[in-house]
Structure 1
Amino acid sequence: MKISDEQVWNTCGYVRLSREDGDKEESNSVTGQKDLIRDYMARHPELRECGMKVDDGYTGSNFDRPAFREMMAEVKAGKINCIVVKDLSRFGRDHLGVGEYLEQLFPFLGVRFIAINDNYDSLHSNVESDELVIPFKNLINEAYCRDTSVKTRSQLEIKRQRGDFIGSFAVFGYRKDPENRHRLLVDEYAAGVVRDMFKWKLEGISAGDIADRLTAAGIPTPMDYKRSQGMRYSTSFRLKEESVWDAGMVLRILKNPVYIGVLEQGRVTTPSYRVKRLVVKPREEWAVVENCHEPVIDRYDFESVQKVLALDTRTSVSGKAVELFSGMVYCGECGGAMIRKTVPTAKKKYVYYVCAAHKNEKRCFSHSMRVETLDEIVLDALRRYIQDVIDLSDLLELTDTAQLQQAGMRKLQGRLEKKREEIDRNQALLRSLYESLADGVINRDEYQDLKKTYSRRRAEAEEQAEAIQEEMSREMGNFSEGRGWMEQFRKHQNIDALDRTIIVSLIERILIFRDRRVEIVYRWHDEFHWQMDLLRQAQGTLPGREAV
C-alpha cells in the first residue's frame, strides 16, 4: 500500500505503563503519556484521533496485552492506519518483536508509526540512519527490561529469605501491618474461623463437612471476606457472585504452615522476563523462614492435623465424624491395617477390628478385638503413660540442668564416635578393594558393585555424623526447649474417656497381636526414652512403671 504525505490519518494513541519493567510512574504515568500524544496530534492536523488504547500494568517484554490486541484488530480491520506512542519503549521492549512490527508488518499494512520522544516517524524516516539507530534503541530498551527483571528478582528473593511477606494480599486469618506491609498481623475474626477449622479436623470432621458447617453458618469465604474489607481481590476460581466453602478451600488452609508462623514463599517462578508462564520450583528452592509472625495455631495441633490428613480415614455411618480409632489400628503380626467389621445379632450389633490381610487374602492369622475392649485397654494404658510423662517432666525440672546437659552430650558423643568408626571401617574396605581386584579375589563387576555399596555406606555415615554434630550444637544452646511435647500429655492428665482429638494428638499407632496383646506407640516416644536415659545417667537408675 502506497503511503501519501497529504492524506488524513486515522490515528490511535497507545499508552503502556508497568512498574515490573522499571517504569517510573511520575515520568511515564498514563495521564502524562496521553497528554503528550494528544498535544502532538493537535500540532499535526493530518492526524485524526480515532482512539486511545491503554495497557496499565502490562510488561513490554511481550505483546500479549489486551489493549494492544484490540488496537491491532482495528488496524487489520482498516479502522486505524497510524499509531502514536510516547517512545519506542512504550510500544515494547522486545527488540526482535518491535523490529518485526516496524520493518515488516506495519509497512505491509500501510500503517504509519510515530515515536514522539525518539523523533521517529515512519513516513519521514531516514532509511540509512534508522536501520542503525532504531534497532540499537530497541536493544537498549530490552536490555533495560532484562536488567530490571534481574534486579527485581534479586530484591524479592532477599525479602523472602529475611522473612518479609511479599504477597499482594494477606492469607485468610491475617492482615497486613499498616506500618509495614511486609509484616503480617493476626485478624482476630478470620483467625477464629481458622482455629475452629483445625479444632473440627482434630475431632474427626471431614473437610467437606467443615466446608458445609462454614457455609451454613454464613461465614464468608477468604475471597468474599477480602472483598468485604474493601480489597480489590479477584481470582480465576470465582464462579458465582457469592462463593461458598468447599473441601479444597478447607484443605488449603489446614495444610498451610503460615498459621504456625512459617512463611513458605517463592514456590513458583517464570522461566524468564519474556515468558510469563508459571513454573513450580523444587521444594528445596523455596524460601522457608520460621517465626516470621504471631502463630494462630499451636505447632503441636498443626502437626496433629497433618498426621490426620495423611491417614486413610473414613467417615462414620452417621456421616458426622470419623470413627475413634480410624486409621490408627494395625496388625501386630503382619503390619497391615486392621479394619472395622460389624457383626449383627438378634439383639445388638458387635463391632470388631480384624486383620485386613487375613480377611481379604488369608495371608495372616485370624485374630480380632472388640472395639469396646480396645477402648478400655487404650484408655487405661494412656492414663498410665500420661502419668509417666508427667513424673519424668517433674524429675527433669528438679534435676540440675548442667548434669542433664553433660549426660546428653556424653550420649551424643558416644553416637558420634560410633559413626566415625563406621566411616573409617568403610574407608578401609574401599582401600582394600583394589588389592582384592589385583589379586584376583574379586572380578571387575564385583569390584564396581562393592565400591558403590561401601561408598554409599560411608556417605550415609558421614551425613549422620554431621547431623549428630548439629544436634550437639543445638544441645549447647537451650537444653530445656526440647521438652515442650510433655505439656501435650500434661493437659490431658485428667481424662476419663477417649475422644478423637486425644487419640490423634498423643498416639502414633496401635498394634493388635494374635495373643490379644495390644502395643501402643505414642507420639514423641523416641524423645521420651531419650529424656529417660539422660535422667538415669544424671541421677542413676530410676525405678518406675513400664509404659505400654
Structure 2
Amino acid sequence: MPTVTVIQPTISEEQNTKIRCAAYCRVSSDSEDQLNSFMAQMRYYSQVFDNSETEELIDIYADEGITGTREDKRDEFQRLMKDCRKGKIDRIYTKSISRFARNTRDCLKNVRELKSLGITIYFEKENIDTANMTDEMMITIMGGLAQEESTSISQNLRWGIKKRMENGTIKMCTPVFGYELVDGNLILKSDEAEIVRQIFDWYLNGYGLAAIAQMLNALKIERFGRTSHWTASTVGVMLRNEKYIGDQLFQKKYTTDTLPFRQVVNKGERDQYYYSDRHKPIISRDDFDKVQNILAEHKKSFKGLKQDHIFAKKIYCGECGSTFKFKCRKNKNYWVCRLHDAESDKCSNKQILEANAISAFIMLCNKLWYNYKQILLPCQAALQDLKLKKFSGKTQVMDIHKEIAKLREQAHVLARLKTKGFLDEAKYLEQTTELTAKINKLQTELKKLTRSDDEDEMLEQIEMLIDFFEKRENIMIDFDESAFENIVEKIVVIDQHELEFHLIGGLKFKEKI
C-alpha cells in the first residue's frame, strides 16, 4: 500500500478574493440629457459595489457621445475587451444589450469570447446573465431587436432624403468654395467666385494642379474665412465639381444598408440625381468641358503608376510631418514630401530615390540579423520585468473616473443655472474654464496610468521581431516586401542622407543612404 500524505490548504475560503467586476456604459449622443444619463450611470456603478462583500469594481468603461453601431468607434469598449483578455476582469455589468452592442453578430461574438475567457455578463434591463448557457438564445433575440431598431431608424432617415432628392426639395448642408449657404441654397460670393474663375483659367493655360496650389498658398487665399493650405488634390476636386456650372449631382456617396453603416462611393449601385441650372454658375459649360477633357487625358498618362505601392503612406517627412508621395522620372522611382513638392519654401526635405530606401531597409535587416541577440533580447527581458510588476494604479484609475464624472456633472449644473438666468456670462465662463482645465489634467493623468498596459502589446511585438530574425537562415539580398510589411510601421526621412525606420514594438533605428 502506498503512503498517502494529506497536504492541508494554506488559504481559507474566507480569504478568497472578491469577484473582479467591470461596468460598461454608453450614451448615443452628446446632448445635455444624454450627458446627464452618462454621469448617472457613472455614479450608479461607482456606488453599487461600495458595500458588496463578494464583488469589487475594478474599473468603469464609458463611451460618451459616439455611435454605437460600429464597434471600432468605441475606444472604451475596446479597452474593456483588451483588459478582459489580460485576465483583469471576472464579470461585466451593463444596462442593456443595446448599450453593449447594436448588432447581433458583434453581440454574440463578444459574449462567446468572454465566456471562453470565463467572464460573465449581466444585462440589467433584460435580466440576462450569461452565466446561464440557455440565455444565448435570448441574447440573439434581444440583439436582433436592437439591430433592427437601429437599422429601421437609419432606413427611415434615408427614405426621407431619397424622396427629397426625387422631388427636388433636397437642401444643401455645406457650401463649396465660391458660394455661401442661405436656407439650403447656394448663393454666389463674388470675391471667392473670382478666385474660382482664376483657378480654371490657370489650368486652361497649362498650369498643373501642384503649381496652382502653390500660387494660391503664395497669395494666402483663405477658404471659408480661415487660413487654409491648398493642395493639388484640393484643386483637382474643385476643377471636377459640377456646382461651378450651376448644376448639382446628389448621392455621389451612399450609406450601406447593414450594420456597421459605412459611406462608400456610388459607382452605380444607387440612383443619382442630377439637377441642371439649380443655382447661378461661376464657370461656363464650355470651359468646364475643356477642363474635364484635359483632366481625363492626364489621368490616362498616369494610369501606369503603382497606386498600391508598399511604401504608400509609410514614408513621412522628418521636418514637416507630411507623407511622401510617389514620382517617376526617367524610369526611376522617387518619393517626395508632399509639402515640399507643393511649396518648397515651407519644407526643405528633398526627394529620395526608392532604390536607396530599399537598400537601407536591407542593410538594417542584415545588421539586426547579426546582432538581434545583443539588441532585441535585452529589450524583451526589460519588458518582461516591467510586466511582472503589478499595476498599482487600479484604485487610482477608478478615483480619476469618479472625479471626472463629478466635474462633468458640475459643468452640467452650471449650464442649467446659466440657462435659467441664475448665473451671469462672466462667472459661467470663469467656472467652466476652471472645470475644463481640471478635467483635461485628470484625463492626461488617466492616459499615463492606462498607457502602462501597453507593455503587453509591445512585448508581443518584440517577440515577433525576435522570431522573425531567429527563423532567417541567411542575410537578406533582395527586397522582401512581406518582411517590410510585417515589421516596419513607418519610415521617417531625416534628410536626403538618413532614414529612421520605426519597427513594431516601438523600436527605432537610423540608417544612412
Question: TM-score category by the smaller chain?
Answer: 0.3 to 0.5
- In terms of Rg, which structure is larger? 1
TM-score (norm 2): 0.47
